[in-house]
Amino acid sequence: MGIPVRQVVSIGSYILRQHLAGRKRYPLVLMLEPLFRCNLACAGCGKIDYPDAILNKRLSVEDCLAAVDECGAPVVVLAGGEPLLHKGLPQIVAGAIARRKFVVVCTNALLLEKKIDQYRPSPYFTWSIHLDGDEEMHDRSVCQEGVYNRAVAALRLARAKGFRVTINCTFFKGADPERVAAFFDSVMGLGIDGITVSPGYAYERAPDQQHFLNRKVTKELFRDIFRRGRGGKRWAFNQSALFLDFLAGNQTYHCTPWGNPTRTVFGWQRPCYLLGEGYAATYRELMEETDWDAYGTGHYEKCADCMVHSGYEASAVLDTVQRPWKAAWTALRGVGTERPMAPEIPLGEQRPAQFVFSRNVAERLAEAGESKTRPQKH
Ligand code: SF4
């Protein structure tokens, strides 16, 4: 398993405390996006094509730490955009660690060598380096040659300096299971601490929609991958065994979008990291005024094919805490790849998609113009 025991115990006791306090909804992972600007332009990304007035916006260090305090999730994932472009990132990371949060910085690693000495290794800190497969797969995914080799060099450097390092991979339609399995073998050989996987899912603004996976194809792809690695046991995943089992079609989970609340330069995003259907000014407003039951597979057309970790890892973690024997058995036995798949959630009652994104962007642009946000220099 790629999750440190300290983290498992800490998150498990946090969940138990929430249950004992009778809380119905509570956060597990804060997704914190202090900027949308990136130094790559990947085809599967729905963020980097915002107008400059939005790409130039930053959450301040104070805004970020206020979001950490407001939300209270035990894990803080810093994403974006490319978080290493944010000048205040070292202070944000240090501030969150001082609050005993498990901090993960998701990065394409292009700036890691230059900036790594601004950070210190800690059991509470992880670099999560973006690698969508081997050299050819990754460079194609990020639409630029040479990125894989730079990311791997940065990964080796971070390991040599004593940091905890994982990789995060998103797989799209057409991924070759044999090649993915060989890639997992090779990255494990680099001494990484874990792998995070997710199927590509359509951000409604992502320009390249045709390569996202639907649920049936996702489950078959992950079965084909895990089958080549003893039900996934050959690799250290940084995710719960039950989430991997879900990816392979063995669990019927409803998504838990409130488990991974997302704070961006626009505010607290409704309902999740993938869909921007409006923004709340405060975390409390997000939790209390979002109609959570209106989202998720079977409830909403845009959610029909989603199986991403930011929606379903929390569902798997809650199941793990409620049925630890089931999770332990899955971890011991490995992910099932041959048995009949669990029933799928019927889609007959889902409400139709609403397209509110352009209106949201127009509103934010108007705000950006009014506030005369000044861009940072990198
Ligand atoms: S299923 Fe859940 S995580 Fe996926 S897009 Fe819908 S609300 Fe977001």
Residue 112 φ/ψ region, left for φ over 0, alpha for ψ in the -120 to 50 degree band, beta for the rest: alpha
Q: pLDDT > 70: what percent of the chain? A: 93
Q: How far is CA 248 from its chain centroid?
A: 18
- Ligand 1 site-directed mutation target among 218, 274, 291, most atoms within 8 Å of CB: 274
With a cut of 60, say whether residue 371 has pLDDT above it.
Answer: no
Q: Is 78 exposed, middle or buried (0-12, 13-18, 19+ CB in 10 A)?
A: buried
Per-residue confidence band for 375, with pLDDT thresholds at 50, 70 and 90: very low
* pLDDT over 50 (residue 376): no
Give the nearest ligand 1 atom to 300 CA.
6
Q: 154 to each of 37, 52, 199, 286, 326, how far by Cα in Å?
A: 21, 29, 25, 37, 38
Residues 6+ apart with CB under 8 A from 121: 161, 162, 163, 164
With a 6 Å cutoff on the Cβ, whether 158 touches ligand 1 is no
- Which tens digits make up the pLDDT trace of 257-279? 999 999 999 999 999 988 888 89
Determine the average pLDDT of the residues in 207-214.
67
pLDDT tops 90 at residue 361: no
Cis-peptide, bond into residue 271, ω within 30° of zero: yes
Say whether domain 5-290+306-341 belongs to CATH 3.20.20.70: yes
- In whole angstroms, how far apart are CA 193 and each of 2, 172, 182, 190, 227? 6, 23, 17, 9, 21
Q: Output the CA 41–ligand 1 centroid distance in Å.
A: 24
Residue 133 pLDDT: 96
309-322 and 324-333 helices cross at what angle (nearest 10)?
A: 110
Ligand 1 midpoint to CA 300 (Å) = 9
Q: State the average pLDDT over residues 307-328.
A: 92
Going from the Cα of 153 to the center of ligand 1, the distance in angstroms, rounded, reads 34
271 lines ligand 1 (CB under 6 A): yes
253 pLDDT more than 60: yes
Residue pLDDT, tens place only, 89-120: 999 999 999 999 999 999 999 999 999 999 99
pLDDT band of residue 45 (cuts 50, 70, 90) is: confident
pLDDT at 216 over 70: yes
Instruction: Give me the half-sphere count of Cα atoms (radius 13 Å) on the Cβ side of residue 270.
Output: 22
Task: Read off the pLDDT of each residue in 235-252 and give the average, rounded to a whole number.
Answer: 96
Is the pLDDT score of 80 beyond 70? yes
Is the pLDDT at 378 greater than 90, yes or no? Answer: no
Which residues are CB-neighbours of 371 under 8 A, at least 6 positions away? none
Ligand 1 centroid, distance to 274 Cα (angstroms): 7
- Residue 207 above 90 pLDDT? no
Any idea where the domains of the chain sit in the sequence? 5-290+306-341
Q: What is the mean pLDDT of residues 281-288?
A: 97
Nearest CA to ligand 1 atom 3: 311
Helices and strands, number each (H, E), in the chain: 14, 9
In this model, does residue 23 exceed pLDDT 80?
Answer: yes
317 lines ligand 1 (CB under 6 A): no
Instruction: Tell me the CA–centroid distance for residue 49 and ligand 1, in Å.
Output: 22
Query: Does residue 367 surpass a pLDDT of 80?
Result: no
Q: Measure the CA–CA gap between 126 and 148, rounded to whole angstroms.
A: 19
Q: Distance (Å, rounded) from C-alpha 110 to C-alpha 12?
A: 34
Asked whether 268 lines ligand 1 (CB < 6 A), one says no
CB 274 less than 6 A from any atom of ligand 1: yes
Q: What is residue 203's predicted lDDT score, i.e. its pLDDT? A: 60
Per the CB < 8 A criterion, the answer to whether 27 and 72 are in contact is yes
Question: 303 CB less than 6 Å from ligand 1?
Answer: yes
Q: Which has more pLDDT, 378 or 331?
A: 331
CA 39 – ligand 1 centroid, Å: 27
360 vs 208 pLDDT, higher one: 360
How far is the C-alpha of 270 from the C-alpha of 277, rounded, in Å? 5
Largest interatomic CA distance in the chain = 58
**Least confident residue range of 31-40, 204-213, 287-296, 312-321:** 204-213
What pLDDT sits at residue 374?
A: 40
Q: What is the Cα–Cα distance from 10 to 291, expressed in whole angstroms?
A: 29
Q: Are strands 276-280 and 267-271 parallel, antiparallel or unpaired?
A: antiparallel
Give the number of other CB atoms < 10 A from CB of residue 158. 23
State the CB neighbour count (10 A cutoff) for residue 306: 26
- Residue 114 phi, psi (nearest 5): -65, -35
* pTM (predicted TM-score): 0.92
Task: Give the integer Cα–Cα distance in Å for 108 and 128.
Answer: 9
Residues contacting 321, CB < 8 A, separation 6+: 12, 15, 16, 19
Residue nearest to atom 6 of ligand 1 (CA): 303
Q: Please compute Rg for the chain using Cα positions.
A: 20
